[in-house]
């Protein structure tokens, strides 16, 4: 008998039923759910760096270094990158020591701050971020359906703030923010760059935009480059990209995809 089946039977037992229901509600309290998710995120971040860099690599120390830093905190605006996302972004940047990192989608800048902090610690590299700002109307964004039918936030930036507003001034020396549509701005950017070492997609999640970004950024990468993508479950672009490069190392957790060239 499964745990759930046993639970359903207990519900019909006097006295035990209400206690079981109360215990289940307590177990699934948002606070405990958040703690369990945070634990899983950290465990999978370590599994991820194991796969790419090995069990004894400094990447594990970098994960712990980042978690202990102020840049891992959660005082962020709506729609910021998740804990797993920023942990692996930081660890990979520290390990690879890239000269050029590019990303689409900035919002308040949690991912940007994690990358810039890693570049700062490396004392090397520059981040190019492309963003088409979406401001919040009112105190909080509404959920709306996009062109592909997925529910997403109607805005990310608090009124009066600019993309990346939470990035500390001392990290901005290695950052270039480009405002505009990634489909327009990426080709312009790539004409200025000899290569891209790391690319992170978290901008327009339409199939066409994601497939385009994966293709052109991958072509600009040399061996050893890393491609990251958030929200890979929104369409088939990531699945197709992985299938085209099935010989390459990849990792997927909670919709966050990673592939090494």
Among 106-110, 147-151, 173-177, 215-219, the range scoring the smallest mean pLDDT is 147-151
Q: In what order do the strands lie in the sheet with 100-104?
A: 175-179, 126-131, 100-104, 198-201, 226-229, 256-260, 250-253
CA distance linking residue 258 with residue 229, whole number of Å: 7
Answer whether residue 7 is part of any domain: no
Pairwise CA distance, residues 241 & 216, whole Å: 12
- The pLDDT of residue 237 is 96
Domain presence at residue 6? no
Domain count, the chain: 1
CATH code (residue 228) = 3.40.50.150
- Percentage of the chain beyond pLDDT 70 is 75
pLDDT by residue (tens digit) across 188-235?
Answer: 999 999 999 999 999 888 999 999 999 999 999 999 999 999 999 989
Give domain status of residue 182, yes or no.
yes
pLDDT of residue 242: 97
SS3 49: helix
Domain assignment of residue 8, yes or no: no
Q: Roughly what angle, to the nearest 10 degrees, separates helices 207-220 and 237-244?
A: 30
Does residue 9 sit within a domain?
no
Q: Find the domain containing 195 and state its range.
A: 15-260
């Amino acid at each position: 008998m499964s745990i759930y089946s046993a639970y359903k039977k207990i519900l019909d037992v006097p006295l035990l039923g209400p206690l079981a229901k109360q215990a289940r509600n307590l177990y699934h309290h948002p606070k405990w759910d958040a703690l369990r998710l945070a634990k899983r995120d950290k465990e999978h971040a370590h599994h991820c760096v194991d796969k790419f860099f090995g069990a004894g690599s400094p990447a594990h120390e970098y994960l712990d270094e980042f978690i202990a830093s102020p840049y891992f905190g959660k005082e962020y605006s709506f729609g910021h990158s998740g804990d797993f996302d920023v942990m692996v972004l930081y660890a990979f940047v520290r390990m690879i020591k890239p000269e050029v990192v590019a990303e689409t989608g900035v919002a308040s800048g949690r991912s940007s701050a994690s990358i810039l902090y890693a570049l700062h610690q490396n004392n090397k590299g520059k981040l190019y971020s492309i963003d088409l700002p979406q401001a919040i109307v009112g105190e909080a964004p509404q959920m709306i359906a996009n062109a592909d039918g997925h529910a997403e936030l109607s805005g990310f930036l608090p009124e009066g703030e600019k993309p990346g507003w939470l990035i500390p001034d001392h990290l901005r020396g290695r950052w270039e923010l480009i405002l505009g549509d990634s489909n327009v701005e990426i080709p312009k950017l790539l004409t200025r760059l000899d290569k891209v070492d790391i690319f992170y997609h978290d901008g327009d999640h339409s199939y066409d935009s994601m497939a385009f970004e994966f293709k052109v950024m991958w072509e600009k990468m040399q061996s050893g480059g890393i491609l990251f993508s958030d929200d890979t479950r929104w369409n088939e672009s990531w699945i197709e990209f992985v299938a085209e490069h099935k010989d390459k190392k990849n990792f997927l957790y909670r919709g966050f995809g990673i592939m090494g060239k």
